């Protein structure tokens, strides 16, 4: 999650350049590619986890992560919409291009943390 925020807050923002100066297309492309790479990790993680055959004692932990990919997908959609609004505003004469998106910890992390704590309290029950 920290890498995703770095992509947006630092790399993507830096690629836009100063007001009145064209952005750096290569930096912009690299930032977007990095962003999608980090988001893809959520997709891969959940896919691998869903396919994993695990002992019955860990099914709660596996289930806790279900839907985590949607966090990344929703974030990218919000970024796309915010970007599109800014581009449209520029076309209408605006001189501002400000990206504001929200990326909070996926709710699945709280559920997973609770499951991990439950398992760690009684590790012998999950061998």
pLDDT score, position 24: 93
Q: Report the predicted TM-score, pTM, of the whole model to 2 decimal places.
A: 0.74
Residue ranges per domain, the chain? 2-126
Q: Could you report the per-residue pLDDT of 39-71, keeping only the tens digit for each?
A: 999 899 999 999 999 888 888 889 999 999 998
Q: Which two tokens stand for residue 69?
A: 């990919």
| Cα 53 from Cα 105, distance rounded (Å) | 26
7-to-15, 76, 84, 101, 103 alpha-carbon distances in Å: 10, 12, 18, 12, 12
């Amino acid at each position: 999650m920290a890498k995703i925020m770095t992509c947006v807050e630092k790399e993507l923002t830096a690629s836009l350049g100063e007001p009145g100066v064209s952005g750096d297309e290569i930096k912009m492309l690299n930032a977007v590619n990095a962003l999608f790479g980090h988001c893809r990790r959520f997709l891969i993680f959940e896919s691998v986890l869903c396919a994993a055959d695990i002992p019955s004692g860990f099914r709660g932990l596996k289930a806790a992560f279900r839907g985590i990919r949607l966090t990344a997908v929703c974030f990218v959609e919000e970024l796309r919409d915010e970007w599109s609004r800014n581009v449209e505003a520029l076309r209408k004469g605006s001189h501002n291009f400000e990206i504001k998106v929200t990326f909070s910890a996926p709710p699945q992390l709280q559920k997973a943390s609770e499951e991990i704590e439950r398992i760690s309290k009684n590790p012998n029950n999950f061998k």
